Amino acid sequence: MVKYLFWLTIFLIAYTYLGYYLVLRVLTMFTRKGETSYDQSFVPEVSIIVAAYNEGDVIGRRIENLLQMDYPREKMEIIVASDGSTDKTAEKANEYTKHGVVVFDFKKNRGKAETHNDSIILAKNDIVVLTDADSLFENNFVRKVVLPFSMPEVGCVVGNLLYMSSETNISETETYYYNNLEYKIKDMEDRLGILANGTGACMAIRKSLFVSMTSADDTDTYTVLDLALKGYKIIFAKDAIAYDIPPKSAKSEFKCRVRATSKTIVSITRSIGLRLVKNPVLFWNVTSHRLLRYLTPYFLLLTLVTNCLIAGTGTVYKLSLAGQALFYLLALMGWAGESMGKRLPLVSKIFSFCVVMLGMFVGVTKGLMGKYPYSHKTDDGLA
C-alpha cells in the first residue's frame, strides 16, 4: 500500500509539471485553429480600472502610461480606485483629473474584490479593462485587448503579462517560468478553447456580464470561471502585452503564494463549487492547471514520507531517497546563498521552487480552513 502511494504521488507530480503540458501539446497537434479574423474597425468605448492601495509612489507613472495609449482618448475612461489608501495615492491621482482621469477615493480598505465590485458598477462603458498600479501596458495594449470583443460570444480577454526580472534569484526564477512555460500553456488552452484563468494585472471583461464577488474572490479566478461556465469564450490576446515585476525576495514570494493560493482555493470551493464539477472539460483544466499545482507540496511531503518507509525494500527506493535528500540539501544551500546575497544559479532555482511550495502549502491549508487575506495590505506580489 505504501509503495502504491509513493508511485501515485510521483505520477501526480510528473503529470502536474510535465504531463498536462504534453497532453495539451498532443491535443493542439490535432487542432487547426488559424488566426481569428476580428473586425479591425471595432474601436469601442473602454473603461480602465486601476485598483490601488497605498500606491502613491507609482500611481503617477501608471496614469501617464495609460494616457499614452494608442487609442482614441475620447473613448477611454481611466479610473483610479483607491482602496482606503492611507498615503497620497488618491491625492496624486487627483492631479490628473484635468486629463479626464476619474478617481474613486474609497475611504475604507476592503480588498480588491470589493473595490472592483463598486468600481465596475460605476464605470461608464461595457468593456472594462482591469489592471494594477505597478503594471505597465505596451502602447497598443488597449487596442489589442478589446479587439476580440467584436465577437459577441467573447466574455473575457486575457492579456499577455511578461515579468521583468529585478535580477534577484527569486525574480529570475519567476520570470523564466511565467514568460515561458505559463505562456505556452495559456496559448495552447486558448487554441483548444479551454482557457479558464485570467491575469488580474491585464485583462478585460464585459461589464454587462460581471457578477459581484465576495471578499474571497478575485477577477482572475472567479470572474473568468463564472464566464467560462456560462459558455462565454475566454481569449488569450498574446499580442496585448503588459509588464510587471515579480517578488524580489523569498519573504515577498512566500507571502504572495500564501495570498494567491488561499484566495483561489476559497473562491473555487465556495463560490464556484459544483458548477465546475458539472463541466468535465473545465474541471479537468482547472484541476490540472491550478489545483494539482497547489497540492504539489503535499505530494512532495507524501513522497518523502513514503520513501522513508520503503527505503529498505529495494535499490530504487534507496536511490530515490538519496535524490530527495540531495535536492533539499541544495535548497538549503540556495537559502544560504540568498541570505548572503550570492547568486548560485542551480541551487537558487531549487530554493525558489521550495519557497513557492511552502507558500502553496500554507495557502492551501488556510484556504481549506476558510482563512484568506481580504485586504490589499497583504497583496505583495503576483495575483
Please tell me the distance from the alpha carbon of residue 350 to that of residue 344, in angstroms, as a whole number: 10
Task: Tell me the chain's radius of gyration from C-alpha atoms.
Answer: 22
Lowest mean pLDDT among 227-236, 303-312, 330-339: 330-339
pLDDT bucket at 377, cuts 50 / 70 / 90? very low
pLDDT above 70 as % of the chain? 91
Q: Secondary structure of the chain in the HEC alphabet?
A: CHHHHHHHHHHHHHHHHHHHHHHHHHHHHCCCCCCCCCCCCCCCCEEEEEEECCCCCCHHHHHHHHHCCCCCHHHEEEEEEEECCCCCHHHHHHCCHHHCCEEEEECCCCCHHHHHHHHHHHCCCCEEEEEECCCEECCCHHHHHHHHHHCCCEEEEEEEEEECCCCCHHHHHHHHHHHCHHHHHHHHHHHHCCCCCCCCCEEEEEHHHCCCCCCCCCHHHHHHHHHHHCCCEEEEEEEEEEEECCCCCHHHHHHHHHHHHHHHHHHHHHHHCHHHHCCHHHHHHHHHHHHHHHHHHHHHHHHHHHHHHHHHHCHHHHHHHHHHHHHHHHHHHHHHHHHCCCCCHHHHHHHHHHHHHHHHHHHHHHHHCCCCCCCHHHCCCCC
pLDDT bucket at 31, cuts 50 / 70 / 90? confident
Lowest mean pLDDT among 20-34, 168-182, 211-225: 168-182
Q: How confident is the model over 120-158, as pLDDT tens digits?
A: 999 999 999 999 999 999 999 999 999 999 999 999 999
pLDDT bucket at 211, cuts 50 / 70 / 90? very high
Please tell me the distance from the alpha carbon of residue 256 to that of residue 243, in angstroms, as a whole number: 18
pLDDT of residue 380 exceeding 50, the answer is no
Whole-number pLDDT of residue 345: 75
Whole-number pLDDT of residue 157: 98
Entry pTM: 0.89
Please tell me the distance from the alpha carbon of residue 251 to that of residue 9, in angstroms, as a whole number: 28
Please tell me the distance from the alpha carbon of residue 96 to that of residue 282, in angstroms, as a whole number: 42
pLDDT of residue 357 exceeding 90, the answer is yes
Q: How confident is the model over 152-188, as pLDDT tens digits?
A: 999 999 999 988 765 565 656 666 666 678 889 999 9
pLDDT bucket at 383, cuts 50 / 70 / 90? very low
Whole-number pLDDT of residue 379: 42
pLDDT of residue 346 exceeding 60, the answer is yes
CA atoms within 13 A on the CB side of 132: 26
**Domains along the chain?**
1-28+49-383 (3.90.550.10)
- 283 burial (CB, 10 Å; 0-12 / 13-18 / 19+) is middle
Whole-number pLDDT of residue 179: 62
* Selection from 335, 312, 313, 311 nearest residue 323 by Cα: 311
* Selection from 43, 203, 238 nearest residue 116 by Cα: 203
Compare 341 and 65 and report the one with higher pLDDT. 65
Return the number of other C-beta atoms located less than 10 Å from residue 320's C-beta. 18
Tell me the three cell numbers of residue 161.
503579462
Whole-number pLDDT of residue 376: 54
Beta bridge partners of 104: 81
